[in-house]
Amino acid sequence: MKLPESKWPWIVCGVLLLATMLNYMDRQALAVVSTTLKSDFNIAEARFGMVEGCFGYAFAFGSIFFGLVADRYGPRYVYPIVLAGWSLSGVAAAFAGQEWVTQMLEADGDPPGTGVYRWLLLCRTVLGVFEAGHWPCALLTIRAVLSSKDRTLGNSILQSGASLGAIIVPVYIAAANHAGQSWEFAFWSIGIAGLLWIPLWFILIGNHDLSIPKEDASLLDEPLKSEEKLSRLVLRFITLAIVITMLTISWQFLRAWQGLFLQDYHGFSENASKGLMSGFYIAADVGCILSGLLVSALVLRKWEVHSARKFGFFIFTFISASAICLPFAGSGILMIAIYYTAGAGILGLHPFYYSLAQEISYKRMGVLSGSLAALAWCVSSTFQIFIGSHIEATQSYSLGLFIVGFAPVVGLIALYTLWPAEETNVAEGNQQEA
């Protein structure tokens, strides 16, 4: 049965949401079982921070590599390759507790759990390389199937898969534990689910064209005829580099550390922590969808697309800044409410960034957005390694939470002061003429 052409782009967005969900389920499984790994295999805060840091550096490399590949070959075949790569890496992580891993990777005199730690470090590094390929492929697909006025909402749907995946993982792992499954079950079962996504992609995409849409054709590789034009391009890139670096620092801290933050620092039980994690991602998902709906509503009221995005970024920045108050909020309802609010704000900022990145270049968007992601992940990963050692030494999350709340404000300032207004209306003009 052939799908109606008007509905097909949004169904594609739904399948991309599913890919993002699987991406984050593989990623978030480690955070959910972090307390088990700490108690059973001595994966304490410093080791955990190193694993997260190496994942991020690998993600940075994969962002550039798969950005180049996706620009050259398109997402049709590259996307399934990256899905297979990260899914198999997730399956491999389930072997971390096996005796043969310990014997292979742990020498006499090594601290307890060294073999498990090294295996996880390897698997998560490979995972980072392939998970990075999801974003250039997904952003190229969204740009191909939606017009500029609909992309922020499409990006919201895409990004919301992250929180959906993270909502599901704690509940999924808790149910598996209740059924007598060990921590390894989450890694291999989620990996297998990722492999099942691949035939769905090929069925949906079929023979559809995933190249650059007609409305953007006039922007294809225009020669840089003047220093002024080159200057505008550089300013756009610098602005987006600051924005995505600040968002990545904030979001990855909340994502990676929440298990230890809730259970070890605030004293919640394991089951309560899993429930609170799911609640956090529900709030984040609401924020993500609301950001897309806000832009769509403003465009319907005759706002320019770029002006609507900037206004939305302003609103969600100050929602995310509530994280600064977390160290002073105790361990009760107020802390949870602020924690959820900050998550909604930070994840809600991402669709604005993606929409701007999709318009930075129309032939090299994959590698440019990948380079932006690489920079952000390198900075964020260095921060994760530093903050892991800091938390282990001080047993305090205050510094990390202050940075989480303040970082998006830096991104907001960059967007309002650096982004060259002249260039933002080009795509909008094409959209209005189409």
Summarised one tens digit per residue, pLDDT across range 239-288 is 999 999 999 999 989 877 877 888 888 888 877 887 888 888 899 989 99
Inform me whether the pLDDT recorded for 434 exceeds 50.
Answer: no
Mean of pLDDT over the chain: 85
- Given a cut of 50, is residue 187 above it in pLDDT? yes
Residue 22 CA to residue 194 CA, distance in Å, equals 6
Which residues fall within 8 angstroms of residue 419, CB to CB, at 6 or more apart? 235, 236, 239, 356
Has residue 86 been placed in a domain? yes
Residue 221 lies inside a defined structural domain of this protein: no
Please tell me the predicted confidence (pLDDT) of residue 221: 47
- The model's confidence at residue 431, banded by pLDDT at 50, 70 and 90, is very low
Q: Is residue 71 part of a domain?
A: yes
Please tell me what DSSP assigns to residue 3.
P
Q: Supply the CATH number for residue 33's domain.
A: 1.20.1250.20
Q: Domain span at residue 13?
A: 8-211+229-421
Between these two residues, 77 and 111, which has the higher pLDDT value? 77
What Rg do the C-alpha atoms of the chain give, in angstroms?
Answer: 21
User: Is the pLDDT at 169 greater than 50, yes or no?
Assistant: yes
Q: How far is CA 73 from CA 77, 205, 409, in A?
A: 8, 15, 37
Between these two residues, 260 and 129, which has the higher pLDDT value? 129
Residue 432 falls inside a structural domain: no
The confidence score (pLDDT) of residue 53 equals: 83
- Residue 267 in domain: yes
Q: How confident is the model at residue 220 (pLDDT cuts 50, 70, 90)?
A: very low
Residue 203 within any structural domain of the chain:
yes
How confident is the model over 359-383, as pLDDT tens digits?
A: 787 778 888 888 998 899 889 888 8
Residues in CB range of 49: below 8 A, 6 or more apart = 384, 385, 386, 387, 388, 389, 391, 392
Instruction: Find the range with the poorest average confidence among 153-157, 195-199, 260-264.
Output: 260-264
Task: With respect to residue 96, please indicate whether it lies within any of the assigned structural domains.
Answer: yes
Q: Where is average pLDDT lowest: 64-78, 137-151, 255-269?
A: 255-269
Query: Phi then psi for 123, rounded to 5 degrees?
Result: -65, -40
Q: Which two tokens stand for residue 200?
A: 């769905």
At 224 the pLDDT is 47
Number of domains observed in the structure of the chain: 1
What pLDDT does residue 104 have?
82
Q: Hey, which of 54-58, 151-155, 202-206, 341-345 has the most confident mean pLDDT?
A: 341-345
User: Considering only CA atoms, which of 123, 193, 165, 129 is closest in space to residue 24?
Assistant: 165
Share of the chain above pLDDT 90, in %: 43
In a domain, 219, yes or no: no
- Token pair, residue 146, equals 């939606």
Q: Write the pLDDT tens digit of every residue in 322-337.
A: 999 998 998 899 999 9
Residue 229 binned pLDDT confidence (cut-offs 50, 70, 90): low
Going by C-beta distance under 8 Å and a sequence separation of 6 or more, which residues neighbour residue 250?
320, 323, 346, 403, 404, 405, 407, 408
